[in-house]
Amino acid sequence: MLGFIFLTISLWAWYVILRRHIGSMVSHPLVLLALTVPLNFGSLGILSSLFMILHFSIANSFLFAVAFILLLALTSYRKKDSAIFATKKPYNRYILVMWAVTFLLLLQLMLNTLVEAPDGSLITPTPVSTADSSYHLHQVLRFQQAKYWDFTEADFSGEFIRYPYIINFISGVLMKFDMPLPLAYHLPLLLAAAAALFLFLELLKELDMKRSLLLPVFLIAFFASGLGYINYPDSKGFTPLYRAYSVYPMENIAYAGLIPGLLPSQRTFSLGLGLALASIILVCIGLKKQKKEPFIFAGLAYGFLPLSHTHSFLALSLFMGGGSSISFVPKRQRSKNISHPLYNAWIALGRSANTGAHI
């Protein structure tokens, strides 16, 4: 499948770029792999959009974007990078187990947001995980069927809206290159969610969180809002009891946890979360190593967010904006608390945001 080949080439290219510029600064090649996914998707979407503005077709714009990223990788490649996954120490097994168990649960939920029936029809068998799936499928199919993109998204009511589209663009283009719809729909989502989960755990490790706190913090972050998700399995496979625990659509109240309520069906959130976490982690690396390269990639990740996930962009902007405002205060007038590493990370995020926004 050409779509899978092109996607693999772009992922490899981004890995080479990151390994060349920040490979010696990260703790393990797995961290580079996790950073590669959101940065690759973001760059493919942004570069393709630039070519589409110039009225190239959707398929050609994607190919030009892949070629551009590959060219950057080839110029960054060094002979000693041939052992590209070489490492002398294993990654933290405790974190890997947490990631693997959680991703397996997430995988089951994600794959049930869209299933192809034996007769060829598409169904969403899990009532809980169908939120917005039909809308995202609609956008994916528009990318797949259209030759040119007009940057307007037809809503179901006939109105036109602007919606972050990068992850759905990736799925639509993969279908253009003959990837089956279920695989093209799920593959970018699974890669983005897997990377986001790993980057969250890596961020906790990067902040030197005690091992005894890793599991509680991770569970609170991804499984908070109630225990309704434990009612998914039943004799029929799934049950919608989760809604009664944390989602009240008539009152417009929703306290959905990340795992059961957001990552399976909110495709843009999966990519946005990964980009936001990548930006923060890269800033932490830059602060520790006192190097500028991680800040550049952090700025890129931030710059990819507006067309990836609006909420992550706004949240990170508020965080970065506060850090930027602190940087204007003379050092001699700052309290001792502002010298805390998290405040320094805040300031650096604000500065790198400007880089990414302009790039």
Beta bridge pairs of residue 123: 115
In contact, 260 and 242? CB cutoff 8 Å: yes
In this prediction, residue 75 has a pLDDT band, given cuts at 50, 70 and 90, of confident
What confidence score (pLDDT) does residue 237 get?
Answer: 46
In contact, 96 and 205? CB cutoff 8 Å: no
Of 63-67, 79-83, 109-113, the range with the lowest mean pLDDT is: 79-83
Q: Is the pLDDT of residue 14 over 70?
A: yes
Pairing assessment for the beta strands 247-248 and 122-123 based on DSSP bridges = unpaired
* CA neighbor of 73 nearest in space, from 134, 32, 119, 116: 32
Nearest-5° angle of CA 253, CA 255, CA 256?
A: 120
Beta bridge pairs of residue 253: 248
Q: Is the pLDDT of residue 78 over 80?
A: no
Query: What tens digit of pLDDT does each residue of 318-339 get?
Result: 777 666 666 666 666 555 544 4
In whole angstroms, give the CA distance from residue 72 to residue 51.
17
What confidence score (pLDDT) does residue 236 get?
Answer: 46
* CA neighbor of 271 nearest in space, from 188, 347, 197, 192: 192
| Long-range CB contact pairs, 1-5, < 8 A, 24+ | 1/177, 1/178, 1/179, 2/177, 2/178, 3/173, 3/174, 3/175, 3/176, 3/177, 3/178, 3/179, 3/184, 4/174, 4/179, 4/187
Sign of CA pseudo-dihedral 252, 258, 264, 267? positive
Answer whether 0.95 is exceeded by the pTM. Answer: no
Measured from the Cβ of residue 348, the count of other Cβ atoms closer than 10 Å reads 23
Cα-only R_g, the chain: 21
The structural domains of the chain, with segments of one domain joined by +, span 2-280
In contact, 314 and 320? CB cutoff 8 Å: no
Written as one letter, the residue type at 114 is L
What confidence score (pLDDT) does residue 40 get?
Answer: 96
- Identity of the highest mean pLDDT range in 84-98, 119-133, 236-250: 84-98
Beta bridge pairs of residue 161: 153
Query: What tens digit of pLDDT does each residue of 244-261 get?
Result: 444 555 555 455 566 666
* 48 vs 157 pLDDT, higher one: 48
